[in-house]
Amino acid sequence: MLRLVTYGVRARLSKAAALLLLAAPAQADQVHLLALGDSLTQGYGLIESEGFVPQMRAWLAERGHDVRLVNGGVSGDTTAGGLSRVEWSLTPEIEGMIVALGGNDLLRGLPPEVARENLSGILEVAEAQDVEVLLVGMSAPGNYGADYKAAFDAIYPDLAERYGTLYHPDFLGGLLEDGETPADATDLMQPDGIHPSAEGVARIVATMGPAVEELIARIEE
């Protein structure tokens, strides 16, 4: 008799557990993102946990996002380098991509039209693979002249509109007030004056984070 009663209780509990599982909301799948960039993305000069990708992962996790963010930053990479590796970097599980390239094109004074063509090629690969994109702009310094700056700065909003991507105006925008350059934010930069410190990266992440959340929202639609 005791065995029969115990069995009956277990059966009722099993049915109740099954009903609870059916009623529970489905868990969201993990979102897979790639950050395609240069040393700013890679985390040059910082310990691993202080770099852009780990800090962005932590920022997103604090807001309840289950995200795998792959560090596709290569120090010294130009837009041409990004184009050469984007296809094999977009492994099958990648659903969205942060594109943050152009800083080394600027350091080398490469023609804006070349950077535009390379970035366009990257976005075409993403489009062909049905990968959502957040395009992150770079602001040219004034030492190459007003025409160069205007031509380079226009690349990012133009391509974002053309390809229907999300757009964040400036990777270093979280550090700078209007008209400032990295030289004006020395307390947030490493000694080279080019790469942000850990605190600087934290500000960049806080500024860019909402745009990455928009990218996640597009993927989850």
Summarised one tens digit per residue, pLDDT across range 24-81 is 444 458 999 999 999 999 999 999 999 999 999 999 999 999 999 999 999 999 999 9
pLDDT at residue 13 greater than cutoff 60: no
Mean pLDDT of the chain: 88
CATH topology of domain 28-220: Rossmann fold (3.40.50)
pLDDT at 103: 96
> pLDDT over 70 for what percent of the chain?
84
The three-state DSSP-derived secondary structure of 28-50 is CCCEEEEEEECHHHHCCCCCHHH
pLDDT (0 to 100) of residue 176: 72
- Whether 66 is catalytic: no
> For 40, what's the count of Cα atoms within 13 Å in the CB-facing half-sphere?
28
Task: Print the SS3 string covering 51-89.
Answer: CHHHHHHHHHHHCCCCEEEEEEECCCCCHHHHHHHHHHH
Active site residue 195: yes
Question: Of 70, 112, 103, whose CA–CA distance to 192 is shortest?
Answer: 103
Strands (E) located in 75-185: 96-100, 132-136, 166-168
| Residue bearing the bigger pLDDT, 181 or 9 | 181
Confidence of residue 182 (pLDDT cuts 50, 70, 90): low
Query: Which is the catalytic residue, given 38, 153, 195, 197?
Result: 195
Tell me the average pLDDT across 127-153: 96
- How many residues in total does the chain contain? 221
Catalytic annotation, pick one of 130, 147, 178, 192: 192
pLDDT exceeds 70 at position 140 = yes
Q: Domain limits of the chain?
A: 28-220
Predicted local confidence at residue 174, as pLDDT:
85
pLDDT exceeds cutoff 60 at 2? no
In angstroms, the CA 14 to CA 11 distance is: 5
Give the model confidence (pLDDT) of 65-112 as tens digits: 999 999 999 999 999 999 999 999 999 999 999 999 999 999 999 999
In eight-state DSSP terms, residue 194 is S
pLDDT of residue 32: 98
Active-site entry in 39, 89, 139, 197: 39
Residue showing tokens 């049915």:
15
- Whether 153 is a known active-site residue: answer no
In angstroms, rounded to a whole number, what is the distance separating the alpha carbons of residues 1 and 99? 68
202 has a pLDDT exceeding 80: yes
- Contact criterion met (CB below 8 Å) for 206 and 198: no
